Chain A
């Protein structure tokens, strides 16, 4: 395959995966396990994707607990380790804890990058590095053709795992004077004793703020229209360990301000900047700053796909996706990795998926690979039959232990279907796909209720009629008592 040392020469493939970050590697891994012939292309010089550059300062917000009580090779350990990629082979699993510094519970950027490189190497995942996807067109036979500097790749399914790390800046006059997060100098020392305004109050804003507080910033102001949503921590992307600046603001520390106001414009003033803001309650005022940082978010590098008909959301930042991560308008264009957060699922109670993190999209990649293999490439997936007597115990064990359900709450579900009186295990699927499908069966998931309590939920469709049932919460999240068994017995009776 590797003629001249580089794998995947231009030509015809069943599928092409673009990107060698965690999303691309995970998608490629599962496609290969399922026997789908594909090329893996990457503009980078090696694996790692966003973790070759980000996060800039802080450790990740997702946990890896090296000392968890369950074996690292087990499926149960996945819930203790949000950062490793998945694999069928025990020796490829849980590679992040092995790369963590002593005592760390959240990986640093370099540790993530090293774990991903180890995964690619041990799994023998080849990629054509230094090969940038540049343009796209639709062939007459419906296939997509991806142009690169090396030549053209034609395929029936393109999987774009291109991350979401291009800077996005809202159209505020003068904001182009600010450094975007992605361009902030890692040597935060330049901010020592300076006055810094950060536009934005989401994760990246607080992450930079945290680093600047440590670097000895004199005055730090975070400003954006929307208040930080600390009351909904279970569903918030903000995590407490970035919140020093917020904590100091609330308690009145000098030079620490977190403001809810819209930014009207930014102007240069001699050596520094003036940021004009408007507080709807108090009117306009100005912030003087030596430096302005735009932590205003990111966009996926979608290239020319929108011109080909790809519908987008969030001011063009993300593609609009089906539950199986295909563009809603551009057939054959699939997405893996961070961008799968655009497939929102049912969003009950507003709960967002964790698809913007490795712990969410690693499962999405398996769902996607299975879906592609079956629907596009004629692979027959196993759907083991279940004995009716075993169904309740099986679903309870999934509700108690399945990492997919624990991590992708209300988004992924264990799905069983019934046909000709036989119950079959469909595997882990997007809950939305079952709810909006038509087949009789049951989907088991965990979800947040209105009070942010985590509860087991069952969706049972019998005779074409769908019923939703939320089971009671348990203080230790153990859904094993006789009451749970009895309730499942009741709910499943129409199916068994």
Chain B
């Protein structure tokens, strides 16, 4: 179950699509890789200090008060809201399959984005899409 080098898998994700190879290597060195078994929690509703995660492989569920609200897959990211605004997550994120993620301590996300404006723009676009989709269904 050995996987391709992290840096190669990073290059395929939309969030990091604008980065050069050395920049991707620096990202791979900055993030930690974590693997979760199905059913394991990655983010915990009400527990502060969590990280920012990017999914490399597998599927996760967003669960609020025990009710599943959304599914996340490869290339999706989560944890950025509490990383940027502080406080504790309002949802659990739970691994549904074997889930492989890259993580960055939440306190380091703002600095990470400021150093990489293209990643910040990609993230902003993703947040804008989420907002648009949320508005559409209200």
Measured CB to CB, the residues of A under 8 A from B are 170-171, 224-226, 260-262, 264, 278-280, 306, 309-316, 320, 322, 328-329, 344, 346-350, 435-436, 447, 449-450, 466-468, 470
Q: Are B26 and A348 in contact (CB under 8 A)?
A: no
Interchain nearest-CB distance for A352 vs B (Å): 8
The 3 closest A-B pairs by CB, nearest first: A350-B105, A348-B49, A320-B35
Q: Are B98 and A328 in contact (CB under 8 A)?
A: yes
Q: Are A436 and B40 in contact (CB under 8 A)?
A: yes
* Residue of B1, B23, B29, B37 with most chain A CB atoms under a 10 A cut-off: B1
Contacts of A466 in B (CB 8 A): 46-47
Contacts of A262 in B (CB 8 A): 21-22, 25-26
Q: Are B98 and A311 in contact (CB under 8 A)?
A: yes
Q: Are A349 and B107 in contact (CB under 8 A)?
A: yes
A322 to B48, CA, bound (A): 21
Within 8 A of A (CB), among B35-87: 35-37, 40-41, 44, 46-51
* Residue of B6, B29, B88 with most chain A CB atoms under a 10 A cut-off: B29
Q: Are A314 and B49 in contact (CB under 8 A)?
A: no
Q: Are B22 and A316 in contact (CB under 8 A)?
A: no
Interface residues of A, dominant DSSP: loop
Contact A347/B2 with A225-B26, A328-B98 known, Cβ cut-off 8 Å: no
Contacts of B29 in A (CB 8 A): 224-226
Contacts of A313 in B (CB 8 A): 33-35, 100
Contacts of A346 in B (CB 8 A): 44, 47, 49
Within 8 A of A (CB), among B6-25: 6, 20-23, 25
Residue of B nearest to A447 (CB): B49
Judged by a CB distance under 8 angstroms, whether B3 is at the interface is yes
Residue of A nearest to B50 (CB): A348
A313 to B2, CA, bound (A): 8
Contacts of B108 in A (CB 8 A): 350
Residue of B nearest to A302 (CB): B2
Q: Are B47 and A280 in contact (CB under 8 A)?
A: no
Please tell me the size bucket of the interface on B.
Answer: 35 or more
Residue of A nearest to B28 (CB): A225
Q: Are B2 and A328 in contact (CB under 8 A)?
A: no
Contact A306/B41 with A350-B51, A466-B46 known, Cβ cut-off 8 Å: no
Judged by a CB distance under 8 angstroms, whether B125 is at the interface is no
A144 to B10, CA, bound (A): 35
Contacts of B106 in A (CB 8 A): 349-350
Interchain nearest-CB distance for A65 vs B (Å): 31
Residue of A nearest to B47 (CB): A468
| Interchain residue pairs with CB less than 8 A apart (20) | A170-B5, A225-B22, A225-B26, A226-B26, A311-B1, A311-B98, A313-B34, A314-B6, A315-B2, A315-B5, A315-B6, A320-B34, A322-B40, A328-B35, A349-B49, A349-B105, A350-B107, A435-B44, A447-B49, A467-B46
A447 to B100, CA, bound (A): 26
Contacts of B51 in A (CB 8 A): 347, 350
Residue of B nearest to A459 (CB): B47
A316 to B98, CA, bound (A): 15
Contacts of B2 in A (CB 8 A): 306, 312, 315-316
Contacts of B100 in A (CB 8 A): 313
Residue of A nearest to B45 (CB): A466
Q: Are A329 and B37 in contact (CB under 8 A)?
A: yes
Q: Are A347 and B103 in contact (CB under 8 A)?
A: yes
Interchain nearest-CB distance for B97 vs A (Å): 11
A470 to B87, CA, bound (A): 13
* Residue of A261, A310, A349 with most chain B CB atoms under a 10 A cut-off: A349
Interchain nearest-CB distance for B35 vs A (Å): 3
Residue of A nearest to B27 (CB): A225
A349 to B48, CA, bound (A): 8
Contact A225/B98 with A311-B35, A316-B3 known, Cβ cut-off 8 Å: no
Q: Which of B22, B33, B44, B88 contacts A261 (CB 8 A)?
A: B22
Contacts of A435 in B (CB 8 A): 44, 47
Q: Which of B33, B48, B107 contacts A468 (CB 8 A)?
A: B48
* Residue of A320, A344, A347, A447 with most chain B CB atoms under a 10 A cut-off: A320
A265 to B44, CA, bound (A): 42
Q: Are B23 and A280 in contact (CB under 8 A)?
A: yes
Interface string of B91-131 (1 = CB under 8 A from A): 00000001010011111100000000000000000000000
Interchain nearest-CB distance for B2 vs A (Å): 4
Contacts of A311 in B (CB 8 A): 1, 35, 98
Contacts of B1 in A (CB 8 A): 306, 309-312, 329
Interchain nearest-CB distance for B78 vs A (Å): 15
Residue of B nearest to A263 (CB): B25
Interchain nearest-CB distance for A35 vs B (Å): 29
Q: Are A226 and B30 in contact (CB under 8 A)?
A: yes
* Residue of B3, B5, B22 with most chain A CB atoms under a 10 A cut-off: B22
Contacts of A278 in B (CB 8 A): 22
Q: Which of A309, A316, A436, A450 contacts B107 (CB 8 A)?
A: A450
Contacts of A171 in B (CB 8 A): 5
Interchain nearest-CB distance for A369 vs B (Å): 22
A328 to B88, CA, bound (A): 27
Q: Are B46 and A468 in contact (CB under 8 A)?
A: yes
Contacts of B6 in A (CB 8 A): 314-315
Contacts of A468 in B (CB 8 A): 46-48, 88
* Residue of B21, B25, B98 with most chain A CB atoms under a 10 A cut-off: B25
Contacts of A344 in B (CB 8 A): 32, 34
